[in-house]
Amino acid sequence: MTYLIGVDTGGTFTDVVAIDDSGHVVTGKAPTTAQRLGEGIIDGVRDAARQVDRPLEDFLGDTRIFRFSGTTAINALLTGSGAKTGLITTAGFEYILDIGRGMSAWTGLSAVDVRRAYRQRKAPLVVPRQLTRGVHERIDRDGKVVAPPPAPMCCATICAAPAGRCSRSTWCWRATRRSAVSR
């Protein structure tokens, strides 16, 4: 029996959903530990493991996919109250945050409102341009790695950041439009 686990860490609670091969769903919940988010995550997963009478280690050992989303991390990023963050992306896509998704801004607006929208200022970038770096790699439209980035290139990219601008632990890797991994 294998599991797919999804975790969302919010400001008050950490919620866990686990689905087994047969489609059976169990949930877990634990208080979010603001200073040590990992503790709340483990406690929530442990709560889900109890629902299926499994020790935490076995439950995690039988997990195929573990997905995490952090409302607290997103809020910190958007409000600017978190660590300074850098972005590593595919070379050639360094301006992806500047460009944004053009059409989504106009969906549902009248022609007059669209003209007014052009006069609006964009929100500040969540990752400053000077902390965005491109590395040579390729992923196809299905998310399959065609040309992986050389690990030394990623490390060199992070280490080349201007001193004091960004800590190594706050770099985010934009791998595809379907998935992203933080380190």
Per-residue pLDDT at 119: 65
Q: What is the pTM assigned to this prediction?
A: 0.48
Number of domains in the chain: 2
Indicate whether 122 and 155 sit together in one domain. Answer: yes
Query: How many degrees, rounded to 5, is the angle at CA 101 between CA 178 and CA 179?
Result: 10
Per-residue pLDDT at 57: 93
Closest CA to 87 of 175, 178, 27, 177: 175
CB 14 within 8 A of CB 44: yes
Indicate whether 100 and 149 sit together in one domain. Answer: yes
- pLDDT by residue for the chain (183 residues), tens only, comes to 889 999 998 888 999 999 999 989 999 999 998 788 889 999 999 999 999 999 999 999 999 889 888 777 677 766 777 777 777 788 888 887 777 655 555 666 777 776 766 666 666 777 778 888 888 888 888 878 888 877 666 666 666 665 555 654 444 554 443 334 333
Last residue of a domain, one of 25, 40, 75: 75
Per-residue pLDDT at 14: 92
Indicate whether 60 and 105 sit together in one domain. Answer: no
Q: Cα dist. 88→7, 84, 105, 167 in Å?
A: 24, 14, 25, 13
Task: Return the SS3 of 125.
Answer: coil
Last residue of a domain, one of 45, 75, 105: 75
Q: Which domain holds residue 175?
A: 83-182
- CATH number (domain holding residue 13): 3.30.420.40
| Positive or negative torsion for Cα 57, 63, 69, 71 | negative
Per-residue pLDDT at 168: 46
